[in-house]
């Protein structure tokens, strides 16, 4: 073999090696591209899910805030009505005391106790 044939064989070996490297790199690139595409699809799905869940959370938060507002309003109403009940009980107690002092009958007539009458006569 002559040096020219050796050079051609060496170049052929180098070419085959480069060809093999090219195919290896091409396969790795395709695998990487597929993985990146898969990850992009998963990321897109996660973003859609996140947006959906955020919208759902906001809706539930609005409903919850409305419930809290309603409870606060009902508490205010309850406090107001309890205040009215306390006033009515106080008026009823005062009425009971006045009925006992002046001996008011169910028909509205006032009967003054004899003790009170004697006291008024002395005045």
Q: How far apart are CA 9 and CA 3, in angstroms?
A: 10
Task: Enumerate the domain spans of the chain.
Answer: 16-122
Q: How much is the pLDDT for 100?
A: 65
Average pLDDT over residues 42-52: 97
Average pLDDT over residues 10-33: 94
What's the predicted TM-score (pTM) here? 0.49
Q: How far apart are CA 71 and CA 85, in angstroms?
A: 21
Q: pLDDT of 54-100, one tens digit each? A: 999 999 999 999 999 999 999 999 999 999 988 888 877 777 676 66
Average pLDDT over residues 4-10: 88
Average pLDDT over residues 11-33: 94
The two tokens of residue 5 are 């044939």
Q: How far apart are CA 76 and CA 69, in angstroms?
A: 11
């Amino acid at each position: 073999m002559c040096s020219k044939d050796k050079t051609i064989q060496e170049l052929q070996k180098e070419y085959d090696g480069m060809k093999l490297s090219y195919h290896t790199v091409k396969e790795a690139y395709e695998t990487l591209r597929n993985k990146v595409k898969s990850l992009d699809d998963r990321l897109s799905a996660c973003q859609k899910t996140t947006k959906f869940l955020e919208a759902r959370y906001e809706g539930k938060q609005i409903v919850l805030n409305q419930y809290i507002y309603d409870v606060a309003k009902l508490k205010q109403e309850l406090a107001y009505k309890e205040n009215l009940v306390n006033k009515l009980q106080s008026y009823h107690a005062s009425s009971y005391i006045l009925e006992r002092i002046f001996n008011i009958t169910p028909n509205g007539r006032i009967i003054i106790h004899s003790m009170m009458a004697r006291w008024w006569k002395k005045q």
